[in-house]
Amino acid sequence: MATLDIKPIAGALGAELQGVDLSQDLDDATFGAVRQALHDHLVIFFRDQDMSPNQHLAFARRFGDIETHRYAKGLDSHPEILPVVKEATDKAANFGGIWHSDVAFHEAPPMGQILYALEVPKTGGDTIFVNMYRAYETLSDGMKKMLDGLNAMFSGERSYGPSDSEVTKRQALFSKSMDVKLMNDAAAEVGHPLIRTHPETGRKSLFISGIAIRRLEGMTVEESRPILKFLKEHAIRPENTCRFSWQDRSVAFWDNRCTQHYALNDYHGHRRVMHRVTVAGERPA
């Protein structure tokens, strides 16, 4: 087993793992330790990695099947790898610049994402993560009781639907740097439990996602708005978060089932290029 050094970076979540070369096939003991670190810290980081696209995919496949992004084009050579790009000339929106759980509006949202930094600005472009276990656990008993058993309705319309909304216009702006498609099927609603149970840890977490969560099942958007507004603001309290500063060849791997994240857009005039691989998940329960 490789000598694995785990250094937490915040009280809520997040840890850097040292002593692991992700370009190599990990022995079972090392892989088990990495997987456990992901369960313990929710998002794990690696520095100074040199991974080819094939090695990136091979590491991800240890955790499950790979899925491609339905609305954004992958690499020509490796369609399973999504290039997350913002060019220096692009002063508009960035990809992921809102609090969200990745494609929460899918029937089976991803298990996790493995993001590899190829080119980052010297300053700016940090990513903030939030612990959604803690978001649930710090709710009052009365709120937990009210939310228990409720489904929330999710939709990708405001991210990838061909409407005239301000958010869709925003998506069209970053499509100058990325090949992003707007499709009618993104408007469909799917219901997921507002409180989900992690299939591996058995812990409960709050399952909300930025603009993707539209309303509570059986309620109108207007009726749902004050409850969802409270939950969104409660989840992202600073004490529930960690912040990661990228360097070239850094890797972040987050458990999409119990976190949200936000990509800061504070590096205008500088190029940022990442490769992202998505590990398929299961329907929330």
Hey, how many other C-beta atoms are within 10 angstroms of the C-beta on 142?
8
Predicted TM-score (pTM) of this structure: 0.94
CATH architecture, domain defined by 5-279: 4-Layer Sandwich (3.60)
Q: Please report the pLDDT score of residue 2 as a whole number.
A: 61
- Report how far residue 232's alpha carbon sits from residue 214's, in angstroms, rounded to the nearest whole number: 12
Q: How far is CA 221 from the centre of its chain?
A: 24
Sign of CA dihedral 232, 238, 10, 126: positive
Rounded to an integer, what distance in angstroms lies between the CA atom of residue 138 and that of residue 127?
A: 23
Is the dihedral angle over the CA atoms 173, 179, 182, 186 positive or is it negative? negative
Rounded Cα gap, residues 73 and 84, in angstroms: 10
Picking from 86, 157, 158, the residue whose alpha carbon sits closest to that of residue 125 is 86
Measuring CA to CA, which residue among 21, 3, 45 is closest to residue 242? 45
In the chain, beta strands by DSSP E: 5-8, 15-18, 43-46, 66-67, 81-86, 112-119, 127-131, 151-155, 189-193, 195-197, 204-206, 213-216, 241-244, 251-255, 259-263, 272-279
pLDDT of residue 89: 87
Per-residue pLDDT of the chain (285 residues; tens, 9 = 90+): 567 899 999 999 999 999 999 999 999 999 999 999 999 999 999 999 999 999 999 999 999 999 999 888 999 999 999 999 999 988 777 888 899 999 999 999 999 999 999 999 999 999 999 999 999 999 999 999 999 999 999 998 877 877 655 555 555 555 467 888 777 788 889 999 999 999 999 999 999 998 899 999 999 999 999 999 999 999 999 999 999 999 999 999 999 999 999 999 999 999 999 999 999 999 999
- Domains of the chain, by residue range, sit at 5-279
Q: Which residues are catalytic?
A: 100, 102, 261, 276
Give the span between the Cα atoms of 115 and 108, in whole angstroms.
Answer: 20
Cβ density class 155-188: b for 16+ within 10 Å, e for less: bbbbbbbeeeeebbebbeebbebbebebeeebee
- Tell me what pLDDT residue 185 has: 82
Give the separation between CA 39 and CA 44, rounded to whole angstroms. Answer: 9
Determine the pLDDT at residue 224. 97
Which strand (E) or helix (H) includes residue 199?
none
